[in-house]
Structure 1
Amino acid sequence: MRCRLFCLAFIPLLYGSFASGAELKPGLRLSAKGEVGLAQVAGQIRGLRPWWQGGTGQLAADHSGLLFGPQLLALGADLSDHWSGTVHAQWHDKPSQQFGVTEAWLSYQPLPFQGYRLSARAGWFYPSMSLENTDIAWSSPYSSSFSAINSWFAEELRARGAEFSVSRPGRFFQSAQSYQLVAGFFQGNDPLGTILSWRGFAIHNYQSNIGERVRFANYPSIRSGGLAAQPDWVQPSRELDHRVGYYAGVHWLHRDNTELRFYHYDNNADPLVFRHGQYAWRTSFQSLAWQQQLHEQLRLVAQHLNGRTEMGPKAVDLSYRSWFVLLALQSAKIQWSVRYDHFLQQDKDQYPGDDNNGKGHGWMLAAQYPLNPHLNLSVEWQKLHSMQPNRAQWPDWPKDKSFSQLNFLFNWRFD
């Protein structure tokens, strides 16, 4: 409660200093955003509290009433003509009230070579797979909540490594098409797949901090037998087996109207390793993101994910896929957004007491009305329906369940 009161006092002070034109030193860049409001929750019953409270609920709010969203901060610094640094930090109250860092990296970008642009970065960061999460500190400009795909990335996907890219900008070569090739090598994402396997996909806007633990339900199936060593939490950024994971991607841009990003990601973890209270999960997937400017005021954003994760000697073997389509319309002063999510998990292991199958879909509708360049009001409605057979491990928890949430939000930002 003290953290929440501090946050309420901090927001107007921070906004006041930004709105009054506070100046930064040359070479420093500061941006921030946050939200606070009211939530109306339906579909929550005893035992189906959200995952961050040790339940199996797949929306973030645990009750109707005051809602504190993440308060985000992005700081950039030009260290020289070619070197720069970036830090993304936040305060959140889910899964616990705390400040933390979500990303931090050092970038190097030399002068172009015969029109080609080379760049590299090292640190902790998300690979640039998402065309939905393009706002301050990897948030979304379209809605408070993220799609099921990017909600999972926000929880479990974080690479500690190095990334290299080469770009061929179309304007320099007098072409309508631009290309970028990306390759990354990393450690520290060995438990990737834990939450997805037991809870399934969820829809929210909470990013895990580097080094943070994220809870999920203490299922009876992981209290004994071959899964007994697995705790009811995961620390996604843990390094367990000292193996190097990798990813590769290609970006294609046609003028400023069409953009595609394709990535293959493989954490290369040894699923037989158990260390620091965590299993390593061998997780790989392919992601294809698409953005299309349909009209000057209408944009489409979509993404498809397909992958597999494995833990132990076939103790868990799961394939998964998800996709979403989002439309954003700028009408007069209001930005309207609608998103449809679909997701599926298929259990392929032979462990009879732990059914990790699951499927579901969800809708999101949002409207944002700006009061001024730094403040706006928004209304967002979410509805999610899911079928998770592992909820039947408790006699009073329904396998098939719908959740809904209506948020009235006051948003602030500076950039």
Structure 2
Amino acid sequence: MKTLIAAALFALPLPAFAQSATELFTPETVAASGDIRIIGVDGETSWLDGGYGKTRFDTDSANRGFRIEPQAVEGDLIWTPRFTWSLGGTVVATAQQGQDNAVDLSEAFLTYKPLLGGGTKLVARAGLFWPPVSLEHTGPEWRVRDTITPSAINSWIGDEVKVGGFEAQMTRSIGAGRLSATLAIFGLNDTAGTLIAFRGWALHDQKAVAFGLQPLPPLNPFFAIYTQAAKTRPVIELDNRPGFYGKLDWAPTAWLDLQAFHYDNRGNPEAVTPTLQWGWRTRFDNIGAVLSFGDWQVKAQGMAGRTLMGFPENGRLWVDTSFRSGYVMTTRNFVRGSVSLRAEAFGTTSIGSELGRDWSEKGWALTAAGRRDIGKNLSALVEVLHIDSSKEARSYIGVAPQQDQTLVQFALRLHL
């Protein structure tokens, strides 16, 4: 798989007139962004701190009441060089609260955009990136615009579904609309499914990085003692079996965009490293729609999939978990900001021989958010997020299966 990715990076052709378009280190190609917050939160221990909590933050163990404190959440250094008129790149170094390394690599890829003419566009990229699933994330730092916290669907894409490979997108104008088709071959995502099976869904903006690990909640004795590492590495190749995804995007008019996406990492569920990082066979389908009318926009997204891991036992693999989630978000845009409301539901069903139905879950969440742009480089956001979920496995650590949590955040985002 490393050979495949390297070949993809160097296979993109360079036009002969390229030299005059080169921009490497200029104010247009180097940028920085930061995110600081004041958070108020109650509820159970977060999955990032060794619990089953659904959000990024939680109360401390000594005081289970509502906690309020400032947080320095993230800083990004973004480099978007242009080598030729057609060939560019994106490299993002990220420092996140809770990240294993002080600074890590978020994305690194080359982009090729040749001039084809005739109403047809081709965009190809090769390297490390997130698949084009999210309707919420924008920009090279891959951040949501109108809220602070992405939906459960796109939170999971952010923390576990990052690939290394080659992607090509062809777009064709059709009357007043357009049709796009995307196809990719990838690797480095063999552990996708670990978090969705053991932790379940979560709503947060903690993002996977190239060399970091993501913590798992308390595991049952079979996995904790014999089988599974306490942390999962989202970016890793275990079986040298490339996966693929494909996407169709149809915008028949300027006010409607319809999308369909299929992902299959083709992982070997029996592959394992000496450090107990396992291969997972994970597949999912995602559909999305964006409806725009005047200053209003409605986004809807739904996902359903299945992930498998381990060896057969009593006719079933150790882990066999199906998952589904969906949301609808309405946004009212203003000259210098927006207000948004999002409602969503999520769930998993576990029927594996070692991860049974007590690891299934169901839940819902409501999010209300407002954004205000303060000048060219600064934005302020406020958000209230409430989550209610039920998971029988919580009882193993002395926590009630049903939990609810409220998170209030005020964020300042700087982009230079």
Which TM-score applies when normalising by structure 2? Answer: 0.86
Could you tell me whether the CA contact under 8 Å between 1:41 and 1:406 is conserved in 2? yes
**2:130 aligned with 1:126, yes or no?**
yes
- The one-letter code sitting in structure 2 at the alignment partner of 1:53 is D
Report the CA distance shift for 1:93/1:25 in structure 2 as closer, same or farther (over 3 A).
Answer: closer
Match of 2:4 in 1: none
Match of 2:245 in 1: 247
Match of 2:120 in 1: 116
**Shift of residue 205, structure 1, vs aligned partner:** 0.9
- The one-letter code sitting in structure 2 at the alignment partner of 1:293 is S
**2:330 aligned with 1:327, yes or no?**
yes
Match of 1:409 in 2: 411
**Shift of residue 407, structure 1, vs aligned partner:** 1.1
Q: Which runs of 5+ in 1 are unaligned?
A: 1-22
Partner Cα distance (1:300, 1:378) in 2:
19
Q: What CA RMSD, in Å, does the superposition of the two structures yield over aligned residues?
A: 2.0
Partner Cα distance (2:139, 2:369) in 1:
16
Matches within 5 A, 1:35-184: 35-44=35-44, 49-63=45-59, 64=67, 65-96=69-100, 98-170=102-174, 175-184=175-184
Partner Cα distance (2:414, 2:357) in 1:
44
Partner Cα distance (1:411, 1:319) in 2:
36
Report the CA distance shift for 1:80/1:198 in structure 2 as closer, same or farther (over 3 A).
Answer: same
Could you tell me whether the CA contact under 8 Å between 1:54 and 1:217 is conserved in 2? yes
Secondary structure, aligned partner of 1:392: helix
Secondary structure, aligned partner of 2:81: strand
Report the CA distance shift for 1:29/1:348 in structure 2 as closer, same or farther (over 3 A).
Answer: same
Partner Cα distance (2:233, 2:365) in 1:
27
Could you tell me whether the CA contact under 8 Å between 1:31 and 1:136 is conserved in 2? no
Q: CA-to-partner distance for each residue in 1:55-80, whole Å, 9 max, x for gaps?
A: 21111113431122222333211111
Secondary structure, aligned partner of 1:325: strand
Match of 1:7 in 2: none
Match of 1:397 in 2: 399
Partner Cα distance (2:301, 2:32) in 1:
26
Match of 1:216 in 2: 216
Matches within 5 A, 1:285-304: 285-294=284-293, 296-304=294-302
- The one-letter code sitting in structure 2 at the alignment partner of 1:255 is T
Secondary structure, aligned partner of 1:195: helix
**2:362 aligned with 1:363, yes or no?**
no
Could you tell me whether the CA contact under 8 Å between 2:389 and 2:404 is conserved in 1? yes
Could you tell me whether the CA contact under 8 Å between 1:383 and 1:402 is conserved in 2? yes
- The one-letter code sitting in structure 1 at the alignment partner of 2:300 is A
Q: CA-to-partner distance for each residue in 1:230-280, whole Å, 9 max, x for gaps?
A: 112100111011111011111112333111221110000010111142110
Match of 2:342 in 1: 339
- Alignment equivalent of 1:256, drawn from 254, 257, 281: 254
Report the CA distance shift for 1:38/1:131 in structure 2 as closer, same or farther (over 3 A).
Answer: same
Q: CA-to-partner distance for each residue in 1:277-332, whole Å, 9 max, x for gaps?
A: 211000000011211103x2111111111100000121000111001111111246
Could you tell me whether the CA contact under 8 Å between 2:24 and 2:81 is conserved in 1? no
- Alignment equivalent of 1:348, drawn from 329, 347, 351: 351
Secondary structure, aligned partner of 2:137: coil
Partner Cα distance (1:349, 1:196) in 2:
14
Report the CA distance shift for 1:220/1:297 in structure 2 as closer, same or farther (over 3 A).
Answer: same
Secondary structure, aligned partner of 1:355: helix
Partner Cα distance (2:218, 2:360) in 1:
17
**Shift of residue 110, structure 1, vs aligned partner:** 1.7
Report the CA distance shift for 1:358/1:37 in structure 2 as closer, same or farther (over 3 A).
Answer: same
**Shift of residue 190, structure 1, vs aligned partner:** 0.4
Give the length in aligned residue pairs. 380
Could you tell me whether the CA contact under 8 Å between 2:24 and 2:82 is conserved in 1? no
Partner Cα distance (1:352, 1:69) in 2:
33
Could you tell me whether the CA contact under 8 Å between 1:198 and 1:390 is conserved in 2? no
Secondary structure, aligned partner of 1:154: helix
Could you tell me whether the CA contact under 8 Å between 2:47 and 2:199 is conserved in 1? yes
Partner Cα distance (2:82, 2:347) in 1:
43
Q: Which runs of 5+ in 2 are unaligned?
A: 1-22, 60-66, 312-316
Secondary structure, aligned partner of 2:144: coil
Partner Cα distance (1:34, 1:181) in 2:
34
Q: CA-to-partner distance for each residue in 1:62-120, whole Å, 9 max, x for gaps?
A: 34311222223332111112211111222111244621111110112222154322232
Could you tell me whether the CA contact under 8 Å between 2:350 and 2:357 is conserved in 1? no
Report the CA distance shift for 1:27/1:244 in structure 2 as closer, same or farther (over 3 A).
Answer: farther
Report the CA distance shift for 1:224/1:116 in structure 2 as closer, same or farther (over 3 A).
Answer: closer
Secondary structure, aligned partner of 1:322: strand
Partner Cα distance (2:73, 2:375) in 1:
20
Report the CA distance shift for 1:408/1:119 in structure 2 as closer, same or farther (over 3 A).
Answer: closer
